Structure 1
């Protein structure tokens, strides 16, 4: 079975969810649970750090889209940070690079005020 580790912390007004391992059919529900556990608002955004993501299938992409839907419902900003090149390629092919706000690092993503 594929493993996914999720670490969460807060940086200013940003909730950070860092993923390590595989985001796939078996692990995608863990991301939704982690997002739902955050108190999202227009003043408290979400950054999902993908720097240690080793694999992402269509279920993983769907989980990221669900995270975006949840943040949008809360009027909270969301960004992805440190997207690995192999995942970035898939995002670009699917046009998802136009849908997600993507930053090169978590520090870049959290450098702005979410409001």
Structure 2
């Protein structure tokens, strides 16, 4: 993941990984986002919580990367949750209808607290 600028793996627990994304999601950075996160998904961490609080800009290439990650995570039996979505990105997701497809949480903590893969890993509660 070190060759994917703007991505930081913040937390790994079981099959769930938190990845913080910073900067712009555009045609220059989207391939790095895709390859970095897909490396995690295919490496046994198919449940990804993507902290996008540090995303300053997102264009159609960025949206395409998010859709691609969602499809790939699901294909590997996982999930993608966006959290801490900034206002501009939130509006873009709503305008394109992606807010109906991509799961979102207010914070990383909220995403992890309600994550089914973590509940299943912890056993009966």
Q: Give TM class, smaller chain.
A: 0.7 to 0.9
What are the ranges of 5 or more consecutive residues in structure 1 without an aligned counterpart? none
What value does the CA root-mean-square deviation take over the aligned residues?
A: 1.5
Cα offsets for 1:47-76 (capped at 9, x unmatched): 111001000000000000010011011010
Distance 1:9 1:27 in 2: 19
Q: Give the aligned length.
A: 110
**Displaced runs of 4+ in structure 1, greater than 3 A?**
none
Q: Which has the higher contact order (CA 8 A, sep 6+)?
A: 1
Q: TM-score, normalised by structure 2?
A: 0.81
- 1:81 lines up with 2:113 in the alignment: no
1:25 aligns with 2:27: yes
In structure 1, the residue matched to 2:11 is: 10
Stretches of structure 2 that go unaligned for 5 or more consecutive residues are 121-125
How do 1:93-108 and structure 2 match up within 5 A? 93-108=95-110
Q: Which has the higher helix share?
A: 2
C-alpha contact (below 8 Å) 1:48/1:79 kept by paired residues = yes
Question: What is the CA-CA distance between 1:80 and the residue it aligns to?
Answer: 0.5
TM-score (normalizing by structure 1): 0.88
Alpha-carbon distance in structure 2 between the residues aligned to 1:77 and 1:93: 22
Structure possessing the higher radius of gyration over alpha carbons:
2
Q: Residue 67 of structure 2: which of 57, 62, 65 is its match?
A: 65
Q: CA deviation at 1:40?
A: 4.0
User: Displacement of 1:97 after TM fit?
Assistant: 0.4
